[in-house]
A and B are shown apart, each in its own frame.
Chain A
Amino acid sequence: MSDKTHKTGKDQTKPAAEILGPGAVSMVLNVNGVSQSIDVEPRTTLAEALRTSLNLTGTKVACNHGACSACTVWLDDLPVAACSVLAIEVTSQKITTIEGLSETDHLHPVQKAFIEHDAVQCGFCTPGIVMSCAALLAHNPHPDAAEIEVAISGHLCRCGTYPHVIQAMLSLANKQEGNHE
Chain B
Amino acid sequence: MESFEWQQATSFENAATSATHTTTEAMLGTQGKPVASQAMLIKAGGVDLLDLMKEGLVSPRRLIDINHLSEFQSISEDADGGFTIGALATLAQIAAHSGVGKYFPALVQTVTAAASPQIRNRATLGGNLLQRPRCWYLRSPAHHCLRKGGEHCFAYAGDNRYHAVFANHDGCAIVHPSTPATALLAFQAQIKCVSAQGAQRVIPIDDFFMLPSRDPRHENILQAGELITAVKLPAPHPAHRSAYLQLSEKAAFDWPLAAVAAVFVIDHNDICQQARIVLGSVSPTPRRAQEAENILTGAKIDPDNARTAAEAAITTATPLSGNAYKLPLLSALISRTILKAASCESPHERLL
Contacts from A to B (Cβ < 8 Å): 1-2, 4-7, 10-12, 14-23, 25, 41-43, 45, 64-67, 69, 72, 75, 78-81, 84-86, 88-89, 92, 132, 149-151, 153-155
The answer to whether residues A64 and B96 also contact, given A17-B7, A42-B4, A132-B117 and a CB cut-off of 8 A, is no
Q: Which of B67-75, B157-165, B200-208, B265-273 contacts A (4 or more CB under 8 A)?
A: B67-75
Chain A residues whose C-beta falls within 8 Å of the C-beta of B36 in the assembled complex? none
Contact with A along B135-169 (1 / 0, CB 8 A): 00000000000000000000000000000000000
Q: Looking across the interface, which residue of chain B has its beta carbon closest to that of A64?
A: B54
The verdict on B329 contacting chain A, using a C-beta distance below 8 Å, is no
* Pick from A15, A66, A89: contact of B10, CB under 8 Å: A15
Q: How far is the CB of B18 from chain A (nearest CB, A)?
A: 7
Q: Which of A14, A153, A154 contacts B11 (CB 8 A)?
A: A14
Shortest 6 CB-CB contacts between residues of A and residues of B: A154-B116, A42-B6, A22-B3, A2-B96, A5-B96, A81-B118
Asked whether A78 lies within 8 Å of B5 as measured between CB atoms, the reply is: no
For the complex formed, measure the closest distance between the CB of A127 and the CB atoms of chain B, giving whole angstroms.
Answer: 13
Cα A79 to Cα B252 with chains together (Å): 18
| Contact (Cβ within 8 A) B65 A89 | yes
Q: Is B253 an interface residue (CB 8 A)?
A: yes
Beyond known contacts A21-B6, A65-B51, A92-B68: 9 more, CB 8 A cutoff:
A5-B90, A7-B93, A14-B10, A17-B9, A17-B10, A18-B8, A22-B3, A66-B116, A79-B117
Interface size class of B (residues with CB under 8 A): 35 or more
Asked if A7 contacts B5 (CB within 8 A), the reply is no
Contacts of A12 on B, CB cut-off 8 Å?
Answer: 70
Interface residues in B52-83 by Cβ distance below 8 A to A read 53-54, 62-63, 65, 67-70, 73-74
Compute how far the CA of A8 lies from the CA of B335 in the bound complex, rounded to whole angstroms.
41
A66 and B119 in contact, given A7-B90, A21-B4, A84-B51 (Cβ under 8 angstroms)? yes
In whole angstroms, how far apart are the Cα atoms of A121 and B252 in the complex?
Answer: 23
| Contacting residues, chain A, for B95 (C-beta < 8 A) | 5
B349 close to A (CB within 8 Å):
no
A93 to B275, CA, bound (A): 45
Interface residue B14 (Cβ < 8 Å from any Cβ of A) = yes
Given A1-B96, A5-B93, A66-B47, the answer on whether A78 and B121 have CB atoms closer than 8 Å is yes
Task: Decide yes or no whether B247 CB sits under 8 A from chain A.
Answer: no
| A69 closest partner in B (C-beta) | B118
Looking at the assembled complex, report how far the CB atom of B84 sits from the nearest CB atom of chain A, in whole angstroms: 16
A165 to B161, CA, bound (A): 34
Chain A residues with Cβ below 8 Å from B122 are 80-81, 84-85
| Interface status of B2 (Cβ within 8 A of chain A) | yes
Q: Are B1 and A17 in contact, with the CB atoms below 8 A?
A: no
Task: Please determine whether B8 and A15 come into contact, CB atoms closer than 8 angstroms.
Answer: yes
Contact B116–A86 (Cβ < 8 Å): no
Tell me, rounded to whole Å, the shortest Cβ–Cβ distance linking A6 to chain B: 6
* Residues of B15-72 contacting chain A, CB below 8 A: 18, 46-47, 50-51, 53-54, 62-63, 65, 67-70
Residues of A within 8 A of B98 (CB): 2
Q: How far is the CB of B94 from chain A (nearest CB, A)?
A: 9
Supply 7 A–B pairs (Cβ within 8 Å), ascending by A.
A19-B6, A19-B62, A20-B6, A22-B4, A80-B118, A151-B117, A153-B253
For B50, the chain A residues whose CB sits under 8 A away are: 45, 84, 86
CA distance A7 to B5 in the complex (A): 25
CB-nearest residue of chain A relative to B75?
A: A6
- With both beta carbons as reference points, the residue of chain B lying nearest to A155 in the complex is identified as B116
Query: Taking the nearest CB of chain B, how far is it from the CB of A77, in angstroms?
Result: 10
Instruction: Please give, as numbers and ranges, the residues of chain A lying within 8 Å of B112 by CB-CB distance.
Output: 150
Q: Which residues of B contact A80 (CB under 8 A)?
A: 118, 121-122
Determine if A81 and B119 form an interchain contact, defined as CB atoms under 8 angstroms apart: yes
Q: Tell me which of A2, A42, A69 contacts B5 (CB under 8 A).
A: A42
B18 partner residues in chain A, CB cutoff 8 A: 17
Q: CB of B245 within 8 A of chain A?
A: no
CB of B348 closer than 8 Å to a CB of A: no
CB contacts (< 8 Å) of B54 on chain A: these are 64-65
